[in-house]
Amino acid sequence: MDFNLTDAQKALQKKAREFAVKEVLPVSFSYDEHEIMPMDVIKKAWKAGLTNLGVPKEYGGQGYGLMEAVIVVEEIAAACPGTATSIFDNDLGAGPIVIGGNEEQKNRVLKDITENFKLIAFATSEPGMGSDVAGMQCRAEKTEDGGYVLNGTKYWITNAGYSDYISIFATVDPEKKHRGIAAFIVPTDYEGVKTGPHIPKLGQRASNTCSVVLKDVRIPKENVLAKPGRGFLLAMQTFQNTRPAVAAFAIGCARSAMEYAIDYAQKRKTFGRSIGSYQGIQFKLAEMYKDIEAARLLTYKAAWEGDQGLDSNLTSSMAKAFASDVAMNVTTEAIQVFGGYGYIRSFPVEKLFRDAKLYQIYEGTSEIQRIVISRFIMKKYQHAMPNLFEIPRVEIQVEKKGEKFTINAEKSSAELGGRWKCLVCGYVYDPVNGDPDSGIAPGTSFNDIPDDWYCPICGSDKSKFAKI
């Protein structure tokens, strides 16, 4: 097990960090204030080879694995989470084509977006549907020539107002839930496709978010990405691949908030000394660093699993949920370190605080991630220890003679009918010892105990006991 980045990964990290500091950070506050999509920055990222990270090289992409992707996006998000979201969105939009597209689609669409600086968005969410992907209402009606006609509205679609393509998911029948969902490659210049204005948001304002209205949009057969029933699985596979990157977004956001808090704590003085010399502030910073490091390790594990071809669904959900909470907690505490100055726009932590909230919401809310985790725990988790009610226990009877203890047992528990455990408190009745305090002599089997006997610990009757 090696926790070190490779030389190539370190070089990529350095490249992304330099780009973030030089090209993203200086303009991030203005783009946020005016809520404008930073297309010039995104194009610079494309020229620098920092977009289309997961698109294979044969289709013009960078051909990076998930580990390289999370390394890059953490650095960009550290400068501006909103800009990072829009830069990385091509990987989300292209994901369904990389995973489920045929060769013709990959050559036609992926090469177009990588070679000609074009954007591709991803659309599952609707005005009345977000986490419940299987509940989408956008309709897809099949035509005689093998194509489809799309009608409906998608909402919360990142980069849609500037995209050339959108990977759109729609259903042939809402009653069929996930079995009815199909996926399509939709060029935004198709007749009937209309995008709405930018949706005003709390944070990540530099990232374009808008609605996509589809009215009798005819999709030719060659643009059908996934047939009904296959579309839902394709969407889930895409999320599984992109959630480590979302976790990395959150880590980058939290990291900058921590660094700014460190800077302020070392500079700001109260009562004759820097606030960083007070244990209360030091503990806040220590908590930030501890949680960020833990979130990064979990995110790296999720990315590594994906790169190894393993099922990373569980780890990706854990990484996304944990890192999102860390970002929210760290940015909140960073504002507290700044005090009143953390609440004003003159300092960057209020922006990071606003930006951080989105990580707990998009690409599967934190509650959805916890559902994924809890389902695994309740249905698939393999216990290392015996079941609670089957824990083996060997009782010994000891006799103290000076400093020595000896075992004294004429008959074993098994010979006396076995031991019985209270299912309420866990007390174990061993017939070798009996229960002298209750008048049950040693050597009395459980079945020979009077029915009015009760557990000496919690008072439960004999019916609450099970043989072990």
Phi, psi dihedrals of residue 195, rounded to the nearest 5°: -105, 145
User: Residue 229: left if φ>0, alpha if ψ -120 to 50, beta else—which one?
Assistant: left
Cβ neighbour number for residue 425 with a 10 Å cutoff: 13
Q: Residue 42: CB partners within 8 Å, gap ≥ 6?
A: 51, 83, 86, 87, 119
DSSP 347: S
Q: Residue 363 catalytic?
A: yes
User: Residue 205: left if φ>0, alpha if ψ -120 to 50, beta else—which one?
Assistant: alpha
Return the ∠ at Cα 298 (arms to 293 and 304), rounded to 5°: 125
Contacts within 8 Å (CB) and 24+ apart, 140-145: 140/170, 140/171, 140/172, 140/182, 140/184, 140/219, 140/228, 141/172, 142/172, 143/218, 145/220, 145/221
CA atoms within 13 A on the CB side of 408: 10
Strand partners, 212: 154, 195
Integer-rounded Cα Rg, in Å, for the chain is 30
Angle between helices 66-79 and 81-100 (to 10 degrees): 160
Whether the CB-CB separation of 114 and 63 falls below 8 Å is answered with no
Catalytic-labelled residue, pool 74, 287, 363, 403 = 363
Which of 180, 97, 98 is CA-nearest to residue 136?
Answer: 180
CA atoms within 13 A on the CB side of 320: 31
Whether the CB-CB separation of 246 and 295 falls below 8 Å is answered with no
Q: For residues 60, 63, 69 and 72, what is the CA-based torsion angle, rounded to 10 degrees?
A: -60
Q: Residue 247: CB partners within 8 Å, gap ≥ 6?
A: 70, 295, 298, 299, 302, 316, 319, 320, 322, 323, 324
Which of 186, 184, 178, 185 is CA-nearest to residue 233?
Answer: 178
- Give the C-alpha separation, 252 to 38, whole Å: 19
Residues classed as catalytic: 363
